[in-house]
Amino acid sequence: MRALRWRSLPAAGTDRGQVKGTELAYAVVPDTLHRFIVYEVRAMLADRSLDVTYHVRDAGALSDEQVRAGARPPVVYRHHDCDQAVAWCLGGERV
């Protein structure tokens, strides 16, 4: 598997990356024909410390009309480990 090429999302020099639920970065999963995108999302643990989770969005779940209307692909998988999220995209656990 090729390495992911991450792109950051929050504006540099702001505190936006410290907010729960903020998408910090994303990468298109190689070898999926740009269908799956993994997002690194800010999460808050039970002890109120900050962590990240990885959400997978499926571009194949949208119609052309929905894309033109500006809809975002739905989140179809969440995991605390990036490698597990990528493995799911490549068919490791997906039905």
**Which of the two residues, 17 and 22, has the higher pLDDT score?**
22
* CA 88 centroid distance within chain: 12
Domain-by-domain residue ranges, the chain?
7-89
Stated pTM of the model: 0.80
Q: Given the structure tokens 């989770």, which residue do they identify?
A: 53
Residue 50's pLDDT is what?
A: 76
**What is the Cα–Cα distance from 38 to 25, expressed in whole angstroms?**
8
41-94 tens-digit pLDDT: 988 777 877 788 999 999 889 999 998 999 999 999 999 999 999 999 998 655
User: pLDDT-derived band of residue 2, with 50, 70 and 90 as boundaries?
Assistant: low
**Sheet harboring 75-79: ordered strands across?**
7-8, 23-28, 36-44, 50-58, 75-79
